[in-house]
Structure formats: C-alpha cells, structure tokens
Amino acid sequence: MDARFNMFDNELATDFTKRFANASMVIHHSPLPRSTQELVSLRASQINGCGFCIDMHTKDAAAAGESAVRLNLVAAWRESTVFTEPEQAALALAEEGTRLADAHQGVSDHTWAQVRKHYDDDQIAALVSLVALINAANRLAVIVHQKGGSYEPGMFAAAFEPPADGEHAPTQLT
C-alpha cells in the first residue's frame, strides 16, 4: 500500500516537517549518547508499530556501528544482558512515556529515579524531548501510512542538517 499522503508534496506539511526536523537536531547534538537516542527511538517505534521509523532507526544505528545483537534485542531489553544500566533506564522511560494511556501515573517514580541516577539535566532534557518527539513522528508516519523499507542511512540528516560554509541547502526542502 502506498502512503496516503506525501508530507513533502504539500507546502504546509513540508514547512512543518522542516521545523520538526530542526527540533530533532537539538536532540541529535545534545550530550545524550547517540546510541541511546537510537535505542530509545527504536523502542518507542516498535511499541507504536511505526514501520518507517523502525526502518530508519535500525539502519541509522547499524550505520553508526550498533551491533545486530543489540538491535535485535531492543524489544526484549529486560530479558537480555547487552544493555547498560543507563540504557535500561532510558528504555524504561521510552516505554512508559510511550504507553501513557496504559498507566494512570505515566512514568513511574522508580523509572524516573533510575533516569536521574544515570543522566545529568541536559541529558534528561534531551531524553524527555526525544520520547515526545519520536512518539509524534510515529503518529505522523502511521497516520499517513508511511511504510518502512525504503529508508537509506543518513537520508534525513543529510536533508535537514544545516549546510556547511559555502554549500547550499537541498533545493527540495527550501
């Protein structure tokens, strides 16, 4: 099935998507480890059933050197030995922050205490923002039926990253 709507063929949608991507760049350049960012994004996307985002974050993580074992075990991180305590805290926050409707308290005090134990304020700000942003991205992609499988590693980073001195921004996004 083709996507219902192309977010790059509509001026308003393209304008929104560029701003959305700019917000993600703040997180991308934060002190939150890049591997943690990809694991959190992958886990939330798995929960939300977003094939496009699962495809993207799996491929970007692998291209950045993440092991196939860890990528394959993200869905069962509690039953594996390959994630650090800080990563486990981040994955728990991703799950609880994604499944807000499933728990009356939202993120548990225990999970929050683990996040506070392992991350500084800037990393926590990035982590909380990332969970919110990936859930929004998942919803956008699922609503328009954007399917996984066609993503190439770095595709959006190259399109949305500010141009280096003397270079021009990609014409399809201006």
Domain-by-domain residue ranges, the chain?
A: 20-158
How many whole angstroms separate alpha carbon 58 and alpha carbon 19?
23
Residue closest to 131 by CA, chosen among 89, 78, 77, 79: 89
What is the model's pLDDT at position 3?
A: 83
Residue 158 has which token pair? 């190259």
First vs last Cα of the chain: how many Å apart? 29
Residue reference for tokens 């799950």? 95
Residue 77 has which token pair? 């991180």
Q: How many CB atoms lie within 10 A of CB 142?
A: 16
Residue closest to 153 by CA, chosen among 31, 38, 63: 63
Residue closest to 34 by CA, chosen among 60, 15, 52: 60
Residue 131 has which token pair? 């969970």
Query: Exposed, middle or buried: residue 30 (CB in 10 Å: 0-12, 13-18, 19+)?
Result: middle
Q: What is the pLDDT along the chain (174 residues), one digit of tens a residue?
A: 588 998 878 999 999 988 988 999 999 999 999 999 999 999 999 999 999 999 999 999 999 999 999 999 999 999 999 999 999 999 999 999 999 988 778 899 999 999 999 999 999 999 999 999 999 999 999 999 988 888 888 777 655 555 455 443 433 332
Q: How many CB atoms lie within 10 A of CB 23?
A: 13
Domain 20-158 belongs to what topology?
Answer: AhpD-like (1.20.1290)
Residue closest to 45 by CA, chosen among 150, 154, 131: 131
What is the model's pLDDT at position 167?
A: 45
How many whole angstroms separate alpha carbon 128 and alpha carbon 120?
12
Write the secondary structure of 128-139 as one string of H (helix), E (strand) and C (coil).
HHHHHHHHHHHH
What is the model's pLDDT at position 149?
A: 84
